[in-house]
Amino acid sequence: MVEPVSQQVLAEIRRIAIEELEWKGAIEPQHDLLLDLQLDSLGLTVLAVGLENRFRVKLSEEDAVDLKTVGDLIRLVEARAAQSAEARP
Amino acid sequence: MKGPALPPPRCPTVSALLADVAKTPYGLIFADSAERETVVPWAEVYRRARRAAAGLARLGVREGDRVALLLPTSPAFMDGFFGALLAGAVPVPLYPPVRLGRLEEYHRATARMLQVTGASAVLTDSKVRLLLGPSVEKARPRCGCLTVDELMRSEDMHEVSVRPDALGFIQFSSGSTVDPKPVALTHHALMTQVTALDHAMPVPEGTPRVGVSWLPLYHDMGLIGSVLSTMYFPGSMVLLPPEAFLARPALWLRALSRHRAYISPAPNFAYGLCLKRVKDAEMEGVDLSKWHHALNGAEPVSADTLRRFAERFERWGFSARAMRPVYGLSEASLAVTFPPEGRGPRVLHVDPSTLAREGRVEPGARGLVSVGSPVAGFEVEIRERDGGALPDGRVGRVFARGPSLMSGYFEDVAATARTLTADGWLDTGDLGFVLDGELYLTGRAKDVVIIRGANHAPQAFEDPLGAVDGVRTGCAVALGFTPEGSEDEALLILAERAGTEPSAAVEEQIRAAVVAATGVRPHTVRMLEPGTLPRTSSGKLRRAESLRRFLAGELSAPKRMGTVGMMVEMAKSALAMVRAEQDP
C-alpha cells in the first residue's frame, strides 16, 4: 500500500523539525508554524528547502500568504507535487 | 594604531577590474543544493554585463542613476550588477523575499529602500517580480521594473568609462530594518578595500586560486568580500545560495573540500551551525586542509565557537591556525581590522564586571577574541566621550579612518555628519579597547541588533509591540546580547508592563508578535515595572544604558513616591504655577 502524500509530507516535516531544528515537541496538522512550532525565518527556510528537495517541488515567495499551520503547509506541498507530476510526460 | 601602507590599486574602477579579470582563465561557479555546478568564466560575466548595460541604456538608465537589484545568488545577479556598473549607473543590491516569510514588512522595507535611493529601475526575476507589485507601486521607478531576461534580449554591447570618484554602489547598513541607511561607496573606496583584502590574504603557494561563499550578495561580506575581492586576487569563487547552506550546512564544507579552496568568510553563527547540524556521514572524504583563511566576521566572534569548530573539524584537516576573526562594517566598505595570517585566534580573559562598570581591562573569566590590527591604509583609535584618545586597555568608542570609508549616507547629510568627522574619521558606534596592538570589541554604543550576521534596527522589533496590550505604549526596547552559555548574539526584549495580565502571558504575546513581524524569535523577554527603563531628559529610551543595567543586574523599578515626597512635589508645582501667573 502506498502512503498518501499528505502523510509523507507530515513525516518529512517531523523529521526536519526534529533532526535539523532541534524541535522536541509533537507536530500535528493543526499546529501553528510560528506559535506552536516556534519557527523563525531560519526555521522556515530550512523547512521550505527540505520539503522542496524531498518532494521535488518549488515553493515560491507568495506561498506565505495564508500559510499558518502545519496542515496548510502539507496541503501546499501536496498541491505543488500534484502539479509537477502532471507536468511530467 | 595604524595598518601597513596601502599599495596602489591595480585598477582605478570596478568596471576596469572586470575588463581586467576577463582576460584570466578564472570565473564564478554557481553550485546548487544538489551540488551541481555551473561555471561562468569572468570573460562571459563581462560579455553578458555589456549586453545588460546596453539593455539598461535602451531603457533610459543614465550615468549616475541608481538601479535596484532584487535577485537571488545567480548569473542574473551578476548581469544586473555588472551591467549597471558598465552603464555608468550605481547598483543597489536589496534582499529578495524569503520563502514562506511574511510579506507586509518586506514590502514596507523594500519600498522605502527604493525611495531613499531614488532607484530609476528595478531588476529582478520573473518569480520575484510577481510579488513586487506593492513595493514598486509605492516607489514608482522611472524606468520601471523588469527581469534580467528582458534586459538581455538584444545582442548590443555597451560600456561607459567612469571616474574613480563616481559611486560604485550603495549597500544598506542593515538588512531587514525599519530604518536602514544607504551607504554610498565610490569606485575608489571599493578598489582600495579589495587591495587591502588582497594584502591581508595572500594566496598560499601551490593552492588553486579558488574560494567558496554562501553569503548573500546584498551583504558586504558576500559582494565585496567574496566576489569583488576574487576579481582582484584574481581567482575563481564558488557561490552557494544562502538558503541552501542554511538548509544543509555541510554543503559549505563539502564545496570547500571539492575545490580545495583556500578562502571562505562567514559570520560566527555559521560556524556554530556546522557544529550543530553537520553529520559525520556528510563529511566522508572531505578534506579541509587547504582552507587557509577561515574568516569570521559580521557579528561578535565567540572564543568558544572557534575552539569547538577547530576541535571538531580537525579530523577533516581543518587547522585552528586558519581561523581569522575579523572586524569591519558596511560604512568602511568592509574590513577595518584583520589578525595576522596563520596565527589562529588570540583570546584574552578579562573580568566582565570591571569591564562593564569601569571600562577597564583586568584579568578575569570572560574570553574576548582579538579582531587584529588595521588593514592596509587604515588606522583605528579608541576615544572617550569627549573625543579624546584613550590609552591601551581602556574601553571607548572605536573610530576608524581609511581610504575605503563611505563617501556618506546617500543624500542624507545629517546622518553622514553624525557618523563621519570633518577630518575623515568614522564613528563606528562599536565599543572596544586596544591591547598589544590588537583590537578587542566589547559592545556597541549604536542601536543595532545583529542576528545571524544581519544588522537590524531595534525599532523593527519594538514597533510590533505596539499591538500587545500588556505592554506600556512606547516603553519597550529591543537589544542584542550574548546569553550566558551561548555563543551567538540573541534578541532581548525589555518591556514595561501595563495592566494586570500575568507576565508569562504577555511575554508569550510579545514573542509571537516579534516573530510574526520579523522572523526573529526573542531569546529573552523581561517584563518590568513602569518607569524602570532609563530615559534621556527628553524622555527617549536609552537602549545601550538599558542593556548595561540588565547585564549588571541593576535594572530596578523606580522608588515609589511616599506621601511626604508627593506633598513636596505638589508644593513645588503650586509654587511654579504661582510664578507663572505672576510673569507678565
The domain made up of B348-442 is a member of CATH 2.102.10.10: no
DSSP B263-298: EEEE-HHHHHHHHHH--GGGGTT---TT--EEEE-S
- Closest in B130, B277, B521 to A20, CB measured: B277
Fold of B458-552: GMP Synthetase; Chain A, domain 3 (3.30.300)
Do A59 and B277 make contact, defined as CB atoms within 8 angstroms?
no
Q: Where in chain B is the domain with CATH 3.30.300.30?
A: 458-552
Say what the pLDDT of residue B565 is. Answer: 55
A4/chain B closest Cα distance in angstroms = 24
- Average pLDDT of chain B, as a whole number: 90
User: What's the pLDDT at B574?
Assistant: 60
For residue A77, which of A2, A12, A1, A3 has the smallest C-alpha distance? A12
CA–CA dist B98, B266 (Å, integer): 20
Q: Search chain B and give the residue with CA nearest A21.
A: B277
Burial tier of B280 (Cβ tally within 10 Å: 0-12, 13-18, 19+): exposed
Q: Which of A19, A22, A42 to mutate to test the interface with B (most CBs of B within 10 A)?
A: A42
Q: pLDDT value at position B55?
A: 97
Instruction: Determine the pLDDT at residue B420.
Output: 95
Superfamily (CATH H level) for A5-87? ACP-like (1.10.1200.10)
Nearest CA in chain A to B244: A49
Q: Do A40 and B515 touch (CB under 8 A)?
A: yes
Q: Best of B99, B105, B126, B521 to disrupt the A interface by mutation (most A CBs within 10 Å)?
A: B99
Q: Distance of alpha carbon A9 from its chain centroid, rounded? A: 6
- B75 phi and psi angles, rounded to 5 deg: -55, -30
> Looking at chain B, which residues constitute the CATH 3.40.50.980 domain(s)?
42-162
Question: What local confidence, expressed as pLDDT, does residue A2 receive?
Answer: 66
Which of A12, A13, A41 is most worth mutating to test chain B (most B CB atoms within 10 A of its CB)? A41
Cell of B518: 520579523
Whether the CB-CB separation of B421 and B427 falls below 8 Å is answered with yes
Would you mind telling me the total number of residues written for chain B in this entry? 584
Among the partner-chain residues B98, B276, B512, the one whose CB lies closest to the CB of A45 is: B98
Ranges of chain B with pLDDT below 50: 175-178, 583-584
C-alpha dihedral sign at B508, B512, B513, B514: positive
pLDDT of amino acid B177: 39
pLDDT per residue over A21-66, tens digit each? 888 899 999 999 888 888 888 888 889 988 988 998 888 767 777 7
pLDDT of residue B175: 41
Nearest C-alpha of chain A: how many angstroms from B247?
4
Answer yes or no: do B101 and A46 touch at CB < 8 A. Answer: no
Per CB-CB distance under 8 Å, the chain B contacts of A45 are: 98-100, 243, 246-247
At residue B522's C-alpha, the angle toward residues B244 and A44, to 5°, is: 25
| Angstrom distance (rounded) from CA B501 to CA B400 | 48
Write out pLDDT tens, residues B533-558: 988 766 778 888 899 889 888 888 76
In angstroms, the CA A88 to CA B162 distance is 49
C-alpha span between B443 and B395 (Å, rounded): 10
CB B423 within 8 A of CB B508: no
DSSP string, B538-584: TS-B-HHHHHHHHHHT---PPPPP-HHHHHHHHHHHHHHHHHHHH--
Q: What is the mean pLDDT of chain A?
A: 86
Nearest to B246 by CA among B87, B100, B395: B100
CA of A70 to nearest chain B CA: how many angstroms apart? Answer: 12
Q: What is the pLDDT of residue B139?
A: 84
Q: Phi and psi (nearest 5°) for B557?
A: -65, 150
Report the amino acid identity of residue A62.
E
Q: Which residue has the cell 558596511?
A: B330
Per-residue pLDDT at B116: 92
> Taking CB atoms and an 8 Å limit, are B98 and A59 in contact across chains?
no
Strand stretches in B297-393, DSSP E? 323-325, 327-328, 335-338, 347-350, 366-369, 373-374, 379-383
Q: Across the interface, do B101 and A38 touch by the CB < 8 Å criterion?
A: no
CA B211 – CA A58 distance, rounded (Å)? 29
CB B377 within 8 A of CB B196: yes
Cα separation, A18 vs B206, whole angstroms? 43
pLDDT in tens, B406-445: 999 999 999 999 999 999 999 999 999 999 999 999 988 8
- Class of CATH domain B42-162: alpha beta
- Residue B569 is predicted with a pLDDT of 57
At residue B519, the pLDDT reads: 85
CA neighbours closer than 13 Å in the CB half-sphere of residue B269? 15
Whether residue A41 and residue B520 make contact (CB cut-off 8 A), yes or no, is yes
Q: Which of A36, A45, A62, A65 to mutate to test the interface with B (most CBs of B within 10 A)?
A: A45
Is A40 in Cβ contact with B520 (below 8 Å)? yes
